């Protein structure tokens, strides 16, 4: 955990960059150039949503209780704390390009029932508030260009669940203490998470059949809420995602867990778990627990990344998972490959205390 603490300090406080955690400009991560562009896109979306209000073209609509937000390009301002009893959805956004500003107020459900905010149409901005006590804090289905910023979504069954949604931008938000997942992306593509904290959930960030997500400077179990339980980040059949300058932790499972997921990239990240820090494999009981059928994970890259575990290998690739690369990575423990002679996995320039095969170097 000390490695992760130092990494997070270096991420969030650049002036503290020292020693091995200081980024060498000559080793700029692939995809980091996209970070400025992704953040710029998120900022642009915020400007687009806010521009009508600043120009005086839209009269803000006060929100004092639950209901439909159906005016396209409407700017809705929550005027007070809102509580709801029962299993209903409180706020439902049906208009296009709706802005919902909680102005620091709370939306509270009853005993983990119902949905706090439901989003179904193209374009919505949700910002500046707290959502707690629902089955799902924020639910998005079929949404495009959903922007969430400066939100605290905690104490729900699931924090944010987005299905069949594209180009989600989440920044400076926390998803903590949710019973199941902090954030779930299901059959979704594209988007950016930046400067978010996702901790104290069963699983921090869960991706299923989702691709094209960029995660930058996020604390997934190493900041607010503490470590997640089963996994910091869990990729299940999810391809072409990138994690850069982020830290993941889980107290009982894996910091990072990949199942049948291809072509993902982890660069300058840190992961701590109980069974393994980083695990590419299908067994919930740890490396060697069983092979992936019909196919494992392939083409994933881990570069300049740290992995450590309390009761297992720091970085592990289980049997049936091939053509992955572990380059210039570090663990204070063991590196493990369950394939004979590492198969087509590449291990090079790594630092470790032990390895289970000579093909790991």
CATH number at residue 224: 2.160.20
Give the chain's residues under pLDDT 70. Answer: 1-57
193/294 same-domain check: no
207/266 same-domain check: no
Q: Which residue has the tokens 């209780």?
A: 65
173/217 same-domain check: yes
The confidence score (pLDDT) of residue 120 equals 87
183/324 same-domain check: no
Residue 285: inside a domain = yes
- On whether the CB atoms of residues 1 and 235 are closer than 8 A, the answer is no
279/137 same-domain check: no
Work out the burial of residue 176: count CB atoms within 10 Å of its CB; fewer than 13 is exposed, 13-18 middle, 19 or more buried. Answer: buried
Interacting residues of 54 by C-beta distance below 8 A, sequence separation 6+? none
173/265 same-domain check: no
Q: Shortest CA distance to 154 belongs to which of 197, 218, 99? A: 197
- On whether the CB atoms of residues 338 and 359 are closer than 8 A, the answer is no
Beta strand pairing call for 254-259 and 276-280: parallel
Interacting residues of 225 by C-beta distance below 8 A, sequence separation 6+? 154, 174, 176, 177, 197, 198, 199, 200, 201
Six token digits for residue 43: 């900022």
- On whether the CB atoms of residues 249 and 222 are closer than 8 A, the answer is yes
8-state DSSP, 41: H
226/285 same-domain check: no
Name the average pLDDT for the chain: 87
The confidence score (pLDDT) of residue 17 equals 32
Residue 6: inside a domain = no
**Domain end call among 248, 281, 305:** 248
End-to-end CA distance of the chain: 24
Residue 190: inside a domain = yes
**Domain end call among 218, 248, 278:** 248
**Domain end call among 186, 221, 248:** 248
The confidence score (pLDDT) of residue 150 equals 97
Residue 11: inside a domain = no
Measured CA to CA in angstroms, residue 70 lies from 61, 136, 172, 268 at distances of 11, 21, 26, 43
230 vs 251: CA distance, rounded Å: 7
Residue 16: inside a domain = no
61/195 same-domain check: yes
Residue 13: inside a domain = no
- Give percent above pLDDT 70 in the chain: 84
Residue 7: inside a domain = no
Residue 4: inside a domain = no
131/207 same-domain check: yes
235 vs 18: CA distance, rounded Å: 31
The confidence score (pLDDT) of residue 132 equals 98
216/119 same-domain check: yes
The confidence score (pLDDT) of residue 50 equals 55
237/257 same-domain check: no
Q: Which domain holds residue 319?
A: 252-361
207/268 same-domain check: no
Q: How many domains does the chain divide into?
A: 2
């Amino acid at each position: 955990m000390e490695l992760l603490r130092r990494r997070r300090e270096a991420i969030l406080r650049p002036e503290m960059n020292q020693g091995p955690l200081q980024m060498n400009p000559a080793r700029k991560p692939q995809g980091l150039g996209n970070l400025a562009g992704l953040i710029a896109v998120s900022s642009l979306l915020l400007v687009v949503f806010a521009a009508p209000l600043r120009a005086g073209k839209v009269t803000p609509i006060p929100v004092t209780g639950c209901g439909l937000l159906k005016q396209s390009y409407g700017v809705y301002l929550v005027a007070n704390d809102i509580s709801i009893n029962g299993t209903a959805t409180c706020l439902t956004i049906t208009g296009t390009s709706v802005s919902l500003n909680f102005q620091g107020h709370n939306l509270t459900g009853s005993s983990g029932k119902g949905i706090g905010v439901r989003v179904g149409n193209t374009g919505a901005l949700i910002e500046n508030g707290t959502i707690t006590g629902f089955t799902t804090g924020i639910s998005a289905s079929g949404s495009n260009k959903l922007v969430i910023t400066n939100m605290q979504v905690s104490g729900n069954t699931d924090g944010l669940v987005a299905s069949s949604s594209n180009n989600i931008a989440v920044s400076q938000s926390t998803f903590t203490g949710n019973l199941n997942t902090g954030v779930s992306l299901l059959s979704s593509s594209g988007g950016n998470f930046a400067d978010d904290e996702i901790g104290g959930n069963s699983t921090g960030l869960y991706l299923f059949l989702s691709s094209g997500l960029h995660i930058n400077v996020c604390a997934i179990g190493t900041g607010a809420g503490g470590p997640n339980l089963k996994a910091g980040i869990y990729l299940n059949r999810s391809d072409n995602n990138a994690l850069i300058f982020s830290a993941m932790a889980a107290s009982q499972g894996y910091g990072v867990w990949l199942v049948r997921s291809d072509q993902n990239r982890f660069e300058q990240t840190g992961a701590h778990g109980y069974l393994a820090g980083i695990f590419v494999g299908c067994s919930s009981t740890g490396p060697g627990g069983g092979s992936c059928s019909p196919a494992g994970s392939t083409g994933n890259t881990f570069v300049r990344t740290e992995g450590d575990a309390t009761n297992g290998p720091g970085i592990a690739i289980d049997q049936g998972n091939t053509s992955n690369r572990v380059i210039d990575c570090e663990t204070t423990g063991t590196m493990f490959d369950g394939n004979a002679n590492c198969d087509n996995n590449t291990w090079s320039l790594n630092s470790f205390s032990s390895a289970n095969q000579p093909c790991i170097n």
